[in-house]
Amino acid sequence: MSNWSPQQQQALDRVGRWLKERDKPAFQLAGYAGTGKTTLAKHLAATVNGPVYFAAYTGKAAHVLTKSGAVNVSTIHKLIYTPKDKSQQRLKDLEAERAKLLTHSPVPKVLLEKVEKAIHQERTNLARPMFQLNTESPLYDAALLVVDEYSMIDEQMGEDLLSFGCPILALGDPGQLPPVQGRPFFTSKPDILLTEIHRQAQDNPIIWMSKEVREGRVLRPGDYGSSRVIPLARLPKEDLRDMVLSTDQLLVGRNATRISSNNRARELLGRTNALPQEGDKLVCLRNNHEIGLLNGQLWKARADAIFDGDHALLNIESEDGVKVEVSAHPDYFHGGKPEYWARKDAEEFDYGYALTVHKSQGSQWNNVLLFDEWYGRDRKEWLYTAITRAAERVDIVMM
């Protein structure tokens, strides 16, 4: 794109001046969907003298960035963290203790069971990667890092990003819902805000729909390019079932709908166990940077979960191929929650066939199915966030 609008040209000039002067480590470029944030960032990347990297919060969002033409794209986590080397000394000590107990006559069964459980837990800990800052990250030699969806970056990740000394161009959208959990790192007003939809985006139905919603207008039932707004009463049950099974991601408004939709999706897929089975789609509910878990990140079960009497042992793989074994609270898979005091004893996962719009922030899919059922004070931001999770098509079912 060469014919920049006055607003876009001003943004290019401001970012260019910042890159020359380096008066602060990060520059916040905000703009609504269709205003050209990513287009501007790609243009700037092509003009910078030196390596430029693009990063997104989730694997799906990184994939969408790649499809848009961005280069050197990865998740933030993959770009700045690396697995730690871990000592196996504790495991060796526990196995030696077990061997010693087995020489006793009679064998102290209670103590042996306790040691066996500790050995199992230690093996699980060793099987899952622990992460630290990557001292060989290419960011040390980068001329610029472009980070998408900056509202999803919490304080720890933000500080870690700055530690590489690379200038950061942070992109964000003020029309979206604020993150539910954690304190975002970028809390100041954006350095520049783009509000004008550029010409190439004006004919995009998703951009048009998001603009209508953002400006307070109602989307009427009908077709919007390949996207649709459909009243539930007009939708045959078989069609709704097929839509749920074929969509890249189902989004909903209420937690109760999320639970029932996940149960229904698993039922349609033939899942019979309440705990995750091989192939199940899971979502992480709480950050744990040390082992590479991000709130809202989607995972796939590589094997059936194993219940050890307290927790569900999960063997899972992320969207960008990271394989992890974790001990998770089983309560969420049964529609409940662990006791507050016990939450830190294990990780928190649930089924991810259906997500609330709040939990979907920071990610994006080609095709999205939305159950439109949220009428809170932030309905406008909620619906705008939901629509802009779709890169190609969104079907909105009016509940």
Mean pLDDT in residue range 356-360: 94
- What is the chain's mean pLDDT, rounded? 91
Q: Does residue 1 belong to any structural domain of this protein?
A: no
Q: Are residues 181 and 294 in the same domain?
A: no
Global pTM value = 0.85
Q: Does residue 58 belong to any structural domain of this protein?
A: yes
Q: Does residue 268 belong to any structural domain of this protein?
A: yes
Q: Are residues 95 and 36 in the same domain?
A: no
Answer with the residue of higher pLDDT: 80 or 117: 80
CA distance 198 to 188: 26
Say which residues have a Cβ less than 8 Å from residue 222's Cβ, sequence separation at least 6. 228, 229
Q: Are residues 21 and 87 in the same domain?
A: no
In one letter, which amino acid is 318?
Answer: S
Q: Does residue 113 belong to any structural domain of this protein?
A: yes
CA distance 338 to 80: 32
Q: Are residues 174 and 292 in the same domain?
A: no
| pLDDT over 70 percentage in the chain | 97
Q: Are residues 303 and 372 in the same domain?
A: yes
Q: Does residue 116 belong to any structural domain of this protein?
A: yes
Q: Are residues 45 and 187 in the same domain?
A: yes
Give residue 376's pLDDT. 87
Give residue 226's pLDDT. 96
Say which residues have a Cβ less than 8 Å from residue 185's Cβ, sequence separation at least 6. 150, 153, 154, 155, 157, 158, 159
Q: Are residues 302 and 369 in the same domain?
A: yes
Q: Let me know: does 177 contact 361? Beta carbons within 8 Å.
A: yes
Q: Are residues 121 and 260 in the same domain?
A: no
Chain segment 328-357, per-residue pLDDT in tens: 999 999 999 998 888 888 999 999 999 999
Q: Are residues 242 and 344 in the same domain?
A: yes
Q: Does residue 42 belong to any structural domain of this protein?
A: yes
Q: Does residue 138 belong to any structural domain of this protein?
A: no
Give residue 313's pLDDT. 93
Give yes or no for residue 1 having a pLDDT over 60. no
Q: Does residue 269 belong to any structural domain of this protein?
A: yes
Give residue 202's pLDDT. 81
Q: Are residues 222 and 309 in the same domain?
A: yes
Burial of 371 (0-12, 13-18, 19+ CB in 10 A): buried
- Quickly state the pLDDT bin for 87 (edges 50, 70, 90): low
Per the structure, the complete domain to which residue 67 belongs is given by 6-81+143-194
Of 114, 133, 152, the one marking the end of a domain is 133
Chain segment 207-239, per-residue pLDDT in tens: 999 999 999 999 999 999 999 999 999 999 999
Give residue 282's pLDDT. 98
Q: Are residues 90 and 162 in the same domain?
A: no
Q: Are residues 239 and 348 in the same domain?
A: yes
Number of domains within the chain: 3
Q: What is the CATH number of the domain that holds 29?
A: 3.40.50.300
